Structure 1
Amino acid sequence: MSSTDEWTDILDDGEEIIWQGRPDGAIALRPASLFEAAFGLFFSGFALFWMLGAFKSGGSFWMFGLLHFSVGLGIIFHAVFWSSYVRRNSWYTLTDRRAFIGTRLPLLGRKLKSYPLTGSTPLELVDGQPASVFFAERTKRGENGSTTVAVGFERIAEGREVYRMMRDVQARASERK
């Protein structure tokens, strides 16, 4: 079974795959993740300081600090390793009509998201080694409101080439109208 056979039930009639790839799985810290890691370090450091003080008082009351210490370590782990882990479990596909992002994560399962490419789809190339091509946005809700997150093919070696292919797809989509 070839890789295109696996797409038979997913692709529209006449739709063709023009590129497939995987993101770079290296750890890449962003300013926001550095802030998150610093917060986790402070959180776990304070819990450790509290546990040591409680331990000196005697008894087993110090163990209540283990939960906070563990949460702080979890925040640090998330900030440093999570985006890299997600990228290592992601696959990208570009067709002559859509972009697909597939992921396979524990507890969350397998997901395949499709993003149509039209003449009005905003494309952004973030050049670098590796480059990223963004083509959609999603809203991420948090405790203090919501933020907009760019969606795209992150940290790919062929960024400029994929960006050019997407522009070609856009041009053909505009011609079909």
Structure 2
Amino acid sequence: MTDEFWQNVLEDDETLLWTGRPTPRISLRNFQLLGPFIGAVGTVIAGGFLLTYNSLPLSQSVVMAAVIGLVVLSLVKGLNRWADLTRTRYALTNHRALFFRLQKGETRVKAFSRSLETAPDVKPTSPPSVFFIRQERSDNPALAGHLGFEYVQDSASLCRLMATAYKGAKR
């Protein structure tokens, strides 16, 4: 992202502290990303057993259609999640946490005030994910989501910029 981009996004008294983007690695720690692909493999194996040992009153073409449909749905879900991450960028300023999504010639931005910041919760993904924004639902304030920057390389430097340190943080 260019200097001109930041001039258009940042407010007058706002300072850019950190920028990053998700860079997930293929690992068991990132099971939420690998899960749909493993699910597709499991569906193929289960479908193979059904076709081999079929004593059900279903034709093989119905079983094949169901297996193919479930595999396609699982793969589409996994690929969409990977694609979303490749189009995501993050920034932390002295006033806001910014989430960018690059889409077909435009950039969508969501901004959250640093006043919503909580102690960072570092998840052991590969690289780590740092969740630090509490977002309450307007229809039910008791339900709150924990948002943050996922799969970021320099999570340790990001955590040092948080208002409240997480347990065990080195300052």
Determine if the TM-score, normalized by the shorter chain, exceeds 0.5.
Answer: yes
Distance (Å, rounded) in 1 between the aligned partners of 2:70 and 2:41: 6
Q: Which moved more, 1:109-118 or 1:29-38?
A: 29-38
Query: What is the TM-score of this pair, normalised by structure 1?
Result: 0.61
Misfit runs of 4+, over 6 Å: none
Distance 1:105 1:49, change over 3 A: farther
Could you say which residue in structure 2 is the equivalent of 1:20?
Answer: 19
Alignment pair present for 1:161 and 2:157: yes
Unaligned runs of 5+ in 2: 138-142, 165-171
Matched residues, number: 153
Cα offset for 1:159? 0.8
The answer as to whether partners of 2:119 and 2:132 remain within 8 angstroms in 1 is: yes
Could you say which residue in structure 2 is the equivalent of 1:143?
Answer: none
Counterpart mapping for 1:1-177 below 5 A: 3-29=2-28, 30=30, 40-50=40-50, 53=54, 62-77=60-75, 82-104=80-102, 110-118=107-115, 121-126=117-122, 130-137=127-134, 150-167=146-163
SS of the residue 1:69 aligns to:
helix
Cα offset for 1:48? 4.3
Distance (Å, rounded) in 2 between the aligned partners of 1:156 and 1:33: 15
Q: Which moved more, 1:69-78 or 1:27-36?
A: 27-36
Distance (Å, rounded) in 2 between the aligned partners of 1:137 and 1:63: 49
The alignment yields a C-alpha RMSD, in angstroms, of 3.9
The percentage of aligned residue pairs carrying the same residue is 19
The answer as to whether partners of 1:33 and 1:79 remain within 8 angstroms in 2 is: no
SS of the residue 2:14 aligns to:
coil
Unaligned runs of 5+ in 1: 141-146, 169-177
Structure 2: which amino acid aligns with 1:131? P
Query: What is the TM-score of this pair, normalised by structure 2?
Result: 0.63
Cα offset for 1:74? 3.3
The answer as to whether partners of 2:118 and 2:134 remain within 8 angstroms in 1 is: no
Could you say which residue in structure 2 is the equivalent of 1:172?
Answer: none
